[in-house]
Structure 1
Amino acid sequence: MKTFVFLSIVALCSAKSLLQNEFLHFLAEQDIMLQDPPQNTSHIIQPQQRSTPASTPDDPFFICPLKCVCQVRVVQCSDADLQSVPAKIPKDTVMLDLQNNKITEIKESDLKNVPLLYALFLINNQITKIHPKAFRSTKHLKLLYLSWNLLPQIPTNLPASLLELRIDDNKIKKIQKEAFKGMKFLHVLEMSGNPLDTTGIEPDAFDGVLRLIYIRISQAKLTSVPKNLPSNLYELYLDHNKISSIELEDFRRYKDLYRLDLSFNQIKDIENGSLAYLPNLRQIHLENNKVKKVPASIKKLKYLQAVYLHNNNISKIEVDDFCPKESRIKKLYYSGISLFGNPVKHWEIEPASFRCVSGAHGVQLGNFRK
């Protein structure tokens, strides 16, 4: 019996060390994943270094909130039927998981005693209100997930340290002036599933946001491409909206775009030259629209590699629709062009139309059959 107890203690000690190593590895991965391209990483805030050991369940002064599980600076309170943020959260908590509860409000004092908080998950609650001073003490918060709640607007006074904000599937109809004020490190913004119209994005909403490279506003009520988003975007997702046309000036501001998703809209017309403002574009999604012909600017995008045009109304493919007459203009060959689900007669397409496509399976004109 004594031998059994001794071996159990040794096993628990080993498990605790492993968990700590895994979580520290998780933090390191988050830092790497959310950095800007490698040319300049000096702006990234690094997790605060501590000279004192973390509180653990073995500490006689350690208190874990009721209905929660605490392990190595991680407090997990998900699926606990909580109606408010629990009190007495350990002060050295780095990650706080409160998803899948019934929390309706984040009060001023709820996060007061967790100054080292790095990640806060509040997904799938019933939050309608967040106090303007709720994040006053969280100076190092980088990941804030507020998806699947009932928030009517972007919370005010969000931490300036945020790298990633996910606030999709709420009740947001408007992005107010200076909604992201001071958030110069924000990289990722997820806002899908909100009843947001194009006119609901105020011109000064993104003032001061310098590092935002990824925005998703899918499944909203956009009727046109927003023209006042940050100019340094790398990825823009506007799929599943009500956009009916692409105008000449729509993308003039977004010259750094690498990936663009306009699928599942109602796009009929794409004005000539409207895509020419995207010289660095690698991938474009225009599938499941009402496009009648290959956009004229496609062949001018020298780095474009993937074009999704399936399930549209394209009835004819011209020999120069995808490939420019001067081969030197195209710097990268296409790796994929999808055209299935269009009324085009594939036997009428000249083989030279795809002369700048790499690989025998680079073009999809119909579903593959076994």
Structure 2
Amino acid sequence: MREILLLSLLALCQAKPYQRINVMGFPRLHDIMLQDARDDDDDDDNNFLFPSRGSLPPEPECPFGCQCSLRVVQCSDLGLKSMPKKIPTDALMIDLQNNKITEIRENDFKGINNIYALFLVNNKITKIHPEAFRNMDKLQLLYLSYNLLTQIPANLPKNILELRIHDNKINKVQKNAFRGMRSLHVLELSANPLANSGIELGAFDEMTAFYIRIAEARLTAVPKDLPSSLTELHLDYNKIGKVEVEDFYRYKNLLRLGLGFNQIKFVENGSLASIPNIRELHLDNNKLKSVPAGLDSLKYLQVVYLHANGINGVGVNAFCPAGQNVKKALYTGISLFANPLKYWEVQPATFRCVSGPRGVQLGNFRRRK
């Protein structure tokens, strides 16, 4: 069940033009989470979520213009410039997306301690008080995307499962910004003007995360201080120029790595040896002249994107192990199209460890303008 939940969250996590979130679709997600909790931990901590209709108390007072039902408070698309008053203190979900809120003050959520999900997407928020989220020990979904924040809010609740803060003005991740957040599955930081120099040493200390995406930023190198727990790292659409040997020392658990749409000219020998369990590797739309060394030693690699580079030759052992070495999982996809590669000169044995004839994509090269 945890896998189902994580896949659901990842599907929501891609940085795209603003689309209104269907908040009323989340109760089903809650049901998945409750089932997951029963299966894995037999934990009763979440019993407060969505009680049976027969046990519901009378409907509480609702902020003017909002809709309140089943502890879900919907105040979206109302043109609000500040937090509405009289939000029920037993609210589980609060939807404030697509308004004009500019600031979250210290007492805006005072007394709302059981909240599970808070949606502040597509507002004009520039400032969040350091104590705004105090006592929100059960908050697990916090969406702050499409605002005007310049740094990570201070004192974030420790139990957040997903933090979406892409498409803001963040140019700095301060030291201890995520300190103590050991339950984080997904962190989305894309589409912020964040450079490597803006990530302070210790910014990710005492933090656990499985999926981080910092695409469409100003990175010129792979960040080396991210959590070692990562299984997915996506750094697409940056200005990374090369991959160095020490880049992945911390990230030995990586299963998927996205480096597409950068300016990578070469991958140093030995760089990929630190991620032996990698399943999917994106290096498309870069400036590579050859297939990176070391792919043949990655026994579990199944998908590798190398299209739209400058690759002009492929050796017979570029992808598959030689001699008696065994590949644990066959390739299901290798993309080499849009390269100046004479594919008719590539030896058939080059793809001997591909699962089938459709697993390789070759094509004529067209010079990019």
> TM-score with structure 1 length normalisation?
0.86
Query: Contact conserved, 1:45 with 1:161, CA < 8 A, in 2?
Result: no
Mark the runs of 5 or more structure 1 residues left unpaired by the alignment. Answer: 1-20
CA–CA separation in structure 2 for the residues paired with 1:272 and 1:338? 21
Shift of 1:24: 4.3
**Mean CA deviation greater in 229-238 or 23-32:** 23-32
Aligned length: 337
Asked if 1:47 is matched to 2:50, the reply is no
**Cα RMSD for the two superposed structures:** 2.2
Indicate the structure (1 or 2) with the bigger Cα radius of gyration.
Answer: 1
**Alignment-derived partner of residue 357 in structure 1:** 354
**Alignment-derived partner of residue 107 in structure 1:** 105
Shift of 1:183: 1.3
Query: Contact conserved, 1:55 with 1:72, CA < 8 A, in 2?
Result: no
**Alignment-derived partner of residue 71 in structure 2:** 73
**Alignment-derived partner of residue 233 in structure 1:** 230
Change (3 A) 1:45 1:173: farther
- Identify which of 297, 301, 318 aligns with 1:300: 297
CA–CA separation in structure 2 for the residues paired with 1:250 and 1:31? 38
CA–CA separation in structure 2 for the residues paired with 1:54 and 1:365? 60
Q: Which amino acid aligns with 1:341?
A: A
Superposition misfits of 4+ residues, deviation over 2 angstroms: 21-26, 28-33, 40-57, 326-329
- Identify which of 26, 29, 34 aligns with 1:26: 29
Query: Contact conserved, 1:111 with 1:137, CA < 8 A, in 2?
Result: no
CA deviations on 1:302-324 (whole Å, 9 max, x unpaired) are 00000000000000011000011
Shift of 1:251: 0.6
CA deviations on 1:231-260 (whole Å, 9 max, x unpaired) are 110000000000000011111111000000
**Alignment-derived partner of residue 10 in structure 1:** none
Query: Contact conserved, 1:56 with 1:72, CA < 8 A, in 2?
Result: no
**Alignment-derived partner of residue 177 in structure 1:** 175
**Alignment-derived partner of residue 89 in structure 1:** 87
- Identify which of 103, 121, 139 aligns with 1:123: 121
Asked if 1:206 is matched to 2:204, the reply is yes
Change (3 A) 1:32 1:274: farther
Shift of 1:67: 1.5
CA–CA separation in structure 1 for the residues paired with 2:35 and 2:161? 11
3-state SS of 1:134 partner: coil
CA deviations on 1:164-186 (whole Å, 9 max, x unpaired) are 10110111111101001221211
Correspondences of 1:218-367 after superposition (within 5 Å): 218-326=215-323, 328-366=325-363
> TM-score with structure 2 length normalisation?
0.87
Shift of 1:55: 4.0
CA–CA separation in structure 2 for the residues paired with 1:220 and 1:341? 25
**Alignment-derived partner of residue 150 in structure 1:** 148
CA–CA separation in structure 2 for the residues paired with 1:72 and 1:124? 24
Change (3 A) 1:30 1:288: farther
Query: Contact conserved, 1:164 with 1:189, CA < 8 A, in 2?
Result: yes
Query: Contact conserved, 2:63 with 2:87, CA < 8 A, in 1?
Result: yes
CA–CA separation in structure 1 for the residues paired with 2:220 and 2:275? 21
CA–CA separation in structure 1 for the residues paired with 2:35 and 2:181? 19
**Alignment-derived partner of residue 4 in structure 1:** none
Query: Contact conserved, 1:241 with 1:264, CA < 8 A, in 2?
Result: yes
Q: Which amino acid aligns with 1:274?
A: S
Q: Which amino acid aligns with 1:324?
A: P
Change (3 A) 1:223 1:22: closer
